[in-house]
Copies of this chain bind each other. A is one copy, B any other.
Amino acid sequence: MRSFVAVVDAGRFQDAADDLSITQQAVSKRIATLERTLGVRLFTRTARGARLTVDGQAFLPHARDLLRVEERALASVRPGRRPLRVDVIGRRLAPASVLGGFHRARPEVELDVVTLFDAGAAVEALASGSIDASFRAVDRSRLPGDIGAVRVFDEPVQLLTGPGHPLADATAVTPADLAGHLIWMPGIVAGTEWAAYYETLAAAFGLTIEVTGPGFGTDPLLDTLAGSPSLATFVGELTRLVWPSEQGLRRIAVHDPTPVYPHSLIWRRGNPHAALGDLREHLGAVKQGTGTWTPEWATEAA
């Protein structure tokens, strides 16, 4: 493939061979193999070099694309001057959306998105340099001194129920209203910062949160939820659900106070990656709302 593009650019097999530091015969053999694989002739051989056939012309931009993508793939893991690598809590959750907004605003900034286990793993990864930034809810007082943090987004928590749930038709509920109901959150992983968030939330308002084993993915969770008259769960306002439309799930706002999930951007101080400043600048800091609730351990991350 690289030989093909080299021949197109050079116009002659011999010149392409020089560019590739191999012999003309090797280039000839490579092109012949490629043509045999594709089943079409890519060049017309003339006495003055090689010219593209129609098939070759059609193939060329795709070949260039391939080399470009390969270059990007290599760059994504190249130590030093690689794309900005950002950890998000989940690809369908608010941080991913926020990062998408940054990408739309600054499309020239190369990004790679990864998902780590929890905030602790994110801090380790930041310290070791394997990622450049992370969106997590953190207890700022417990962060190492070389890790910076800015609370960038407070996401209201909503109640998610099926159509048969007693609260399904409410326009809004208060945390106190939920005291008698079962909040079902399978797939929650003990020890993670989001588990801690929901535990704190439950304790603060006397809620009952049930965690039945590891989750089997969100789809069966939502299916079960849609068919249950008693189960409800919490979900972030910006969480994108891929519900097959007719599941009839209801998102119900929570007020007085509104629990908000405190997403912070965290990074290692001294990380010289230029795009890191762009990201922080784009995000700014959240304006702390009134009438909201968030765990005390998170409020220090101003």
| Residues A66 and B69 in contact in the complex (CB < 8 Å), given A57-B114, A130-B54 | yes
A58 to B132, CA, bound (A): 12
**Which of these, B61, B66, B77, contacts A58 with CB under 8 Å?**
B77
A266 to B: closest C-beta gap in Å: 15
A40 to chain B: which residues have CB within 8 Å?
Answer: 77, 79
Which of A62, A78, A112: most chain B Cβ within 10 A?
Answer: A62
Known: A59-B77, A79-B39. A131 touches B69 (CB 8 A): no
C-beta contact mask, A67-80 vs B, less than 8 Å → 1, else 0? 00110111011110
Cβ of A70: which chain B residues have Cβ within 8 Å of it? 66
Q: Are B38 and A77 in contact (CB under 8 A)?
A: yes
Residues in chain B near residue A76, CB distance under 8 A: 58-59, 62
Give, as a whole number of angstroms, the nearest-CB distance from A232 to chain B: 32
Q: Chain A 21-64 against B: per-residue CB contact (8 Å), 1 yes, 0 no?
A: 00000000000000000111000000000000011011101110
- Of the candidates B57, B77, B116, B131, the one whose C-beta lies within 8 Å of that of A115 is B57
Q: How far is the CB of A54 from chain B (nearest CB, A)?
A: 5
Q: Which residues of B contact A59 (CB under 8 A)?
A: 73, 76-77
How many copies of this kind of chain does the complex include?
A: 2
CB within 8 A of A85: which of B1, B39, B54, B77? Answer: B54
Q: How far is the CB of A34 from chain B (nearest CB, A)?
A: 10
Q: For the complex, is A65 an interface residue (Cβ under 8 Å from B)?
A: yes
Q: Which residues of A from 77 to 95 have beta carbons under 8 Å from B?
A: 77-79, 83, 85, 87
Q: Is residue A275 within 8 Å, beta carbon to beta carbon, of the partner chain?
A: no
> Could you tell me the distance in whole angstroms from the C-beta of A74 to the nearest C-beta in chain B?
7
A94 CB, nearest partner CB in chain B, Å: 19
Cβ contact of A54, chosen from B65, B69, B125, cutoff 8 A: B125
- Complex Cα–Cα for A54 and B77 (A): 10
Q: Which residues of B contact A85 (CB under 8 A)?
A: 54, 58
Query: Looking across the interface, which residue of chain B has its beta carbon closest to that of A41?
Result: B77
> Apart from A39-B79, A57-B114, A58-B77, what 13 extra A-B contacts exist at CB < 8 Å?
A38-B74, A38-B77, A54-B116, A55-B77, A58-B113, A58-B114, A59-B73, A59-B76, A62-B73, A65-B69, A65-B72, A66-B69, A66-B73
Q: List residues of A whose CB falls within 8 A of some B CB.
A: 1, 38-40, 54-55, 57-59, 61-63, 65-66, 69-70, 72-74, 76-79, 83, 85, 87, 112-116, 125, 130-131
Q: What 6 A-B pairs come out closest when comparing CB atoms?
A: A62-B73, A58-B112, A57-B114, A54-B130, A40-B77, A65-B69
